[in-house]
């Protein structure tokens, strides 16, 4: 059963592994941003060399657009790999 009142909700999640990385003290920072029709949360795990990015949006953006945006932001900051997953809920 679908409802016209429930919007598209898409969640894009990326796990970024940094190589090499530096261990900071104190470890780990979490940032949260509430945007007009979405939210962005960034968790850092410097002891593991990992950044977790969670973007929930109400528009139909592709996983490739999200990954390319992250690559653009991280370019010039050393070697890294990105694994992106998409969760999508439709009303």
Tens of pLDDT, residue by residue, the chain (91 residues) = 455 566 678 888 888 887 765 566 677 888 888 887 788 888 888 888 889 999 998 887 889 999 999 999 989 888 999 999 988 777 6
Domain ranges, ordered by start, for the chain: 13-59
Pick the catalytic residue: 39, 58, 59, 62? Answer: 58
Pick the catalytic residue: 3, 5, 38, 81? Answer: 38
Whether 72 is a known active-site residue: answer no
pTM for this prediction: 0.74
Is the bond leading into 46 cis (omega within 30 degrees of zero)? no
Pick the catalytic residue: 43, 59, 69, 81? Answer: 43
In angstroms, rounded to a whole number, what is the distance separating the alpha carbons of residues 32 and 24? 20
Whether 58 is a known active-site residue: answer yes
């Amino acid at each position: 059963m679908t409802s016209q009142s429930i919007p598209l909700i898409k969640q894009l999640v990326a796990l970024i592994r940094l190589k090499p990385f530096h261990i900071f003290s104190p470890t780990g920072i979490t940032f949260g941003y509430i945007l007009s029709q979405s939210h962005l949360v960034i968790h850092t795990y410097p002891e593991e060399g990992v950044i977790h990015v969670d973007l929930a949006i109400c528009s139909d953006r592709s996983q490739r657009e999200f990954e390319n945006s992250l690559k653009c932001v991280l370019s010039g900051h050393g070697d890294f790999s990105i694994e992106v997953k998409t969760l999508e809920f439709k009303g």
